[in-house]
Structure 1
Amino acid sequence: MDALARSAAEDPAVARLRMALALARGDLRGAGKWVRDAAPMAERRDGALATTAVQAAANQADAVHWLRPDKATAHKAAPDPADAFARAVVQHRFGDPTTALADAQAALAVANRDGSPDDRVRANLLRARILMEARQFEQATAVLGELDAYTATDYRVAWMAAALYGKRGDAGPARQARQQASALAGERSLDVPPLL
């Protein structure tokens, strides 16, 4: 990664990989540093970089820096799923749960209309996380149920299932989901929430 960074220092993909790697290692301080270092790239409006940066930012000001102004997207016929998701993440991390859930549902609506399967998965995972943190376990389980098809192949979904069943106190399903997450984890630690 360091060699790649030397040859492509201004490449948004390198910045995104550094942030994602720091988060995967549970290095929140390092992730926040990479977000600050990459701040000049925010003007390029790379959706993938922005969605990683808002998850890695150390504080609200750093996260908000990566959001496109509302007026920049107002003239578009269809909102960008990455923009909608980034706004929902910032609200989840630094706002109130009610608004975060509304923004996550709006991100899902945009993803359903104009996004990829990954956009829909991550919007639903964010909804499930917000509901789980609010101890609304039945609703979180229903949202996670919409992602059943991904449980065997998507680490993020398997990890969220293990976390949710663990919080609910469902020992059997939690153990099974943790085994599935472990099988998909590779070198990732199950103790670190995955990047959405």
Structure 2
Amino acid sequence: MCIFTVNIALNKPAYLQYQYRLGDKIYDASNAVDGRKSDLRLGGGQCASSEPQQTATWWVNLTSYEICNFLEQQSMWFVETADMLAKMARETLVNARLPTFSLPCAIDVLTLGSYPRLPSCIRDKIVPPDAITPAEKRQTLQRLTQATLTLMGDSPKIPWRLLDITLLVEDPETGDGKSLVHSLQINYIHQLVQSRLMDNERPLHDLYRLLRILS
């Protein structure tokens, strides 16, 4: 509900009994309803003053059409506001409920100074993962490439045959998690590795060195 402050006596007819210095506009009764109040001294011309040692009567005439209309309008707004508040209380606010407060989270923040209950989906997007250790780096580098070999016979002169080669490198944010190496590139690497296994005194060492270079 809004409250309006309006000077309903502004510039209305006024009367002062026993006016100080009768006829002098500086002390006239109308000074009390002219809206001015920057100089409230006796001779400032903004106050109504009566003769000293006299009980004076001052009045203002508010019985005008504008004042009555204003008061009726204010009364109508007051009644409408009260009716709307009553309707909201009976219909709209009946099902209004306070949310369920997360007390465990509030206790964690107040006691620990942190919020350890952050959902994993938000934590994975915002909080960076812990850096891997040097040992984990070396272990990861050794697993970037996987090759499957076989021998087609028992003779020591039969060369190794490469059955399959897999590059274990992928990026979930690039290519929707698909392999970063094209199948044509895999075929070329397969042929290159197989050629190194033919007529080589140390084929497995050469294979390992080549795969490390590719990774």
TM-score in terms of structure 1 length: 0.19
> Higher helix share goes to which structure?
1
* RCO comparison, higher one (Cα < 8 Å, 6+): 1
Return the index of the structure with the highest Cα Rg: 2
> Higher strand share goes to which structure?
2
